[in-house]
Structure 1
Amino acid sequence: MADTEGTTSEAKGPGAFRKFAWIRIIVGILIIGVMLWGAGVVLGYFKKPASIQVAGKSHNSAESGALASAAEPSGPPPAEDHRATDHGTADSADAVHGEQTTGHDAPVHDDTASTQGKQGSSEHGVAAQGKPASSHGKTVSAGLGAEGAAGHAASGSHGAAGDEQFVEQANGVAFVSAVIEPLRYELSDRFWGWRPNDVITLGDNVINFQLGVLEVTRRAAIQLSDRISRTSSTSKLETELQNAMNWFMVKPNQYWFPSPETKYIDSLDQLEAYRERLISGDASFFARTDNLLPLLAAFVDLLGSCDENLVKTEEKTGEPVSFYKADNYFFYAKGVASAMHPILEAIMVDFQTVLVRRDGTELMHHAIENLDRARHINPWVITDAASSGILANHRANMAAPISHAMVYLYTLMKTLET
């Protein structure tokens, strides 16, 4: 009897051990997977682009700088009649914004333009730059190297604090830099790089964020190639901009032949080549109302799509928006806001004459502020609770600044059309 029981226990021993081992192996794999996913989210998402950090700091410094220049009794009026300064050194207003105009024969504008220039300066700190229209010559901007990361937007509208080197800025450089930098960060500087075409993914938050950045870049590249770089519809297309526009259309989740990372980087290189030609004077950038309106319309359409996804409660199939879809909509909208924000700041620089003439500076400023709010909504966990629930509804939180930015841009369009 004892021998029989011993034999049975020995027979069961190997099977029980295998079951014991497999359970622990599977649990260990799951734990490692969760740890890797958590590390990817923390390191990949919470590391902000340098361009975004610079823009946030320079925005605050610009507002304090505007107050300082207004309180300075010895400084001349801030770009009151858009005259170029006759002194070799920067005055107090120029020291705040890091810019001064060159030349001594700039034409004097009338009193109406002077009043509008003051209003634009108080709203966003741009009129004090003394930046004339493209026909009045070029401006000198502080701290904007052709390859500088901060040059994507803040360099033109706010100046680069702490950098005393003055370099010449051609019209359009701020806009092209603003188009380049957000996607350049996602491709080259983001932890784990471009993720939509990864075989193994650690969450989809960054994936949707990057898709939002890509869509804004695509729409800006289309308008830059088709309109802003040309005098009319019969003008020659810029080769670099054509290549960039076409290569941006490669599917973001395509694995190879060609890989999207390669083509997107090539597109950004083409935009940089066009930017270099702007600096050298071999390329054109036409900051006109009829060129700005289609770009604003494209942005309004994109923000409207994001707003619809953020506020809807049901999908087209009639099913309620799932928990897994809610965070996709949230991070896509955040990517759109993060890429559109520096472009609108660059528009404040390169299209300043158009905005001031039509009193559109304040509307653009409000749109920029709301996009800045949207891109800084940064919850650890996305919840999609009921409107009257205890937990937050982060889609609704994101929808508020997105819809406000859309309304301000739409109102700006109508203002420019009249």
Structure 2
Amino acid sequence: MKFAKRSMQDANERLGDSLESARAWLGGPLISKLLGLVVLAYVLLCLLLGWYWSREPGLEPLVTAREARVEGELTVQTLQAVMTTLLDKPGGFISNDIMPPGLMMDNMPNWEFGVLVQVRDMTRALRRDMARSQSQSTEDRDLARAEPRFHFDNKSWAMPASESEYRDGLRALASYEQRLQQGDAAFYPRADSLASWLGDVSTRLGSLSQRLSASVGREPLSDSGRARERTPWTQIDDVFYEARGTSWALVHLLRAVEQDYAEVLGKKNAQVSLQQIIRDLEATQAPLWSPMVLNGSGFGVLANHSLVMANYLSRANAALIDLRRLLEQG
């Protein structure tokens, strides 16, 4: 009897020791390993999503000329398609993200800002010039609603979010397009309105070209003759991708303008000039094979991607200035 009791006590003690050991094992290294695996999986997922979301849209036509039935419709449709691509591309609109991986991404938000600036400029040109017969005429109600929506802060994530304001602007553009088809809205493809918008584009490209060129060792001179500050090395890739976004949007918008202003361009013999501008801007969308934006000095061993981009933008801007001058001549 005593032997049986002792055996049971020994068994209970061994069981208790085993349970204690199991608790210590479960509460120690195993939990740490599981947490480590979860964190590793999360980091890998963020890296994969970040890579996928960083892929820029291509230059395939967003809208075909066959879909447009009235003058100006192709430009409005292209403007909507550019903005829709900005909002619905992989990852959506990233500039106002507050969680990884969007929070940690740097290049795509700058690309988005470059596109957004061109959307804002074209919407303003439509409201100010293209949809009005003269300066004293009444502005279009839908364009008057769309323009301030697109100028909303691109980093607002709530109350309201940037996306909600931009989609409201898209709805206003869609309403303008529908009224344009029905003859209840107007679009005037005049040389002066096109020249005015091209002036805005030229200003943007000139500024970007200067900022890109300021990445090199020698400091460029300002208008007063004093040296400007160089672009900080932490912002070199920011300016580069803003320029790529700007160029991507301009390629699509200029293709649409080429169709809607075909008669004006034909009278001025300016089709070839516009096509050359589009070709120069298309060259800015070549794949970047380097894992980062290189900033070599002058004729050094490493490339300077910013200077290559500045060269394309400067060529396009020079052609834009000539085209604008040609359109303004009687």
Q: TM-score range by the shorter chain?
A: 0.7 to 0.9
Q: State the 1:33 CA deviation.
A: 6.4
- Secondary structure of the structure 2 residue equivalent to 1:375: coil
- CA 1:324–1:40 in 2, change beyond 3 Å: closer, same or farther? farther
CA RMSD of aligned residues (A): 2.8
**Is 1:243–1:270's contact at 8 Å kept on the other side of the alignment?**
yes
Instruction: Return 5+ residue gaps in structure 2 as ranges.
Output: 1-23
Equivalent of residue 307 in structure 2, options 393, 396, 408: 396
- CA 1:332–1:275 in 2, change beyond 3 Å: closer, same or farther? same
Displaced runs of 4 or more, over 4 A: 21-29, 31-34, 314-320
Normalising to structure 1: TM-score of the pair? 0.64
Equivalent of residue 54 in structure 2, options 45, 48, 53: 45
Which position in structure 2 is the counterpart of 1:175? 75
Which position in structure 2 is the counterpart of 1:416? 327
Q: State the 1:377 CA deviation.
A: 4.0
**Is 2:149–2:169's contact at 8 Å kept on the other side of the alignment?**
yes
Instruction: Note the 1:375-390 alignment, pairs <5 A.
Output: 375-379=285-289, 380-390=291-301
- Secondary structure of the structure 1 residue equivalent to 2:104: coil
- CA 1:192–1:405 in 2, change beyond 3 Å: closer, same or farther? same
**Is 2:123–2:143's contact at 8 Å kept on the other side of the alignment?**
yes
Which position in structure 1 is the counterpart of 2:98? 199
Instruction: Note the 1:238-387 alignment, pairs <5 A.
Output: 238-313=140-215, 320-379=230-289, 380-387=291-298
Name the % identity.
24
- CA 1:320–1:299 in 2, change beyond 3 Å: closer, same or farther? closer
Instruction: Note the 1:220-235 alignment, pairs <5 A.
Output: 220-235=122-137
- CA 1:310–1:22 in 2, change beyond 3 Å: closer, same or farther? farther
Q: Deviations over 1:28-58 (max 9, x none)?
A: 84x5565345323421122525xx32x3xxx
AA aligned to 2:55 is F
Q: State the 1:320 CA deviation.
A: 4.7
> Distance in 2 between the 1:34 and 1:358 partners?
57
> Distance in 2 between the 1:218 and 1:36 partners?
34
**Is 1:288–1:354's contact at 8 Å kept on the other side of the alignment?**
yes
Which position in structure 1 is the counterpart of 2:87? 187
> Distance in 2 between the 1:22 and 1:388 partners?
52
Higher relative contact order (CA 8 A, sep 6+): 2
**Is 2:211–2:231's contact at 8 Å kept on the other side of the alignment?**
no
Q: State the 1:321 CA deviation.
A: 3.4
Aligned residues: 292
Instruction: Return 5+ residue gaps in structure 1 as ranges.
Output: 1-13, 56-149, 160-166
**Is 1:230–1:285's contact at 8 Å kept on the other side of the alignment?**
yes
> Distance in 2 between the 1:298 and 1:323 partners?
28
Which position in structure 2 is the counterpart of 1:73? none
Q: State the 1:331 CA deviation.
A: 0.5
Q: Deviations over 1:271-324 (max 9, x none)?
A: 111111112222110000111111000000111111111110359997653443
**Is 2:130–2:193's contact at 8 Å kept on the other side of the alignment?**
yes
> Distance in 2 between the 1:224 and 1:194 partners?
24
- CA 1:207–1:330 in 2, change beyond 3 Å: closer, same or farther? same
> Distance in 2 between the 1:168 and 1:416 partners?
24
Q: Deviations over 1:326-372 (max 9, x none)?
A: 11011100000011111111111111111111111111111111111
Q: State the 1:375 CA deviation.
A: 2.3
- Secondary structure of the structure 1 residue equivalent to 2:93: coil
- Secondary structure of the structure 2 residue equivalent to 1:169: coil
- CA 1:34–1:331 in 2, change beyond 3 Å: closer, same or farther? farther
- Structure number with greater Rg is 2
> Distance in 2 between the 1:332 and 1:182 partners?
15
Q: Deviations over 1:147-205 (max 9, x none)?
A: xxx32xxx22xx6xxxxxxx6610001111121112211212x1221111111313111
- CA 1:306–1:47 in 2, change beyond 3 Å: closer, same or farther? closer
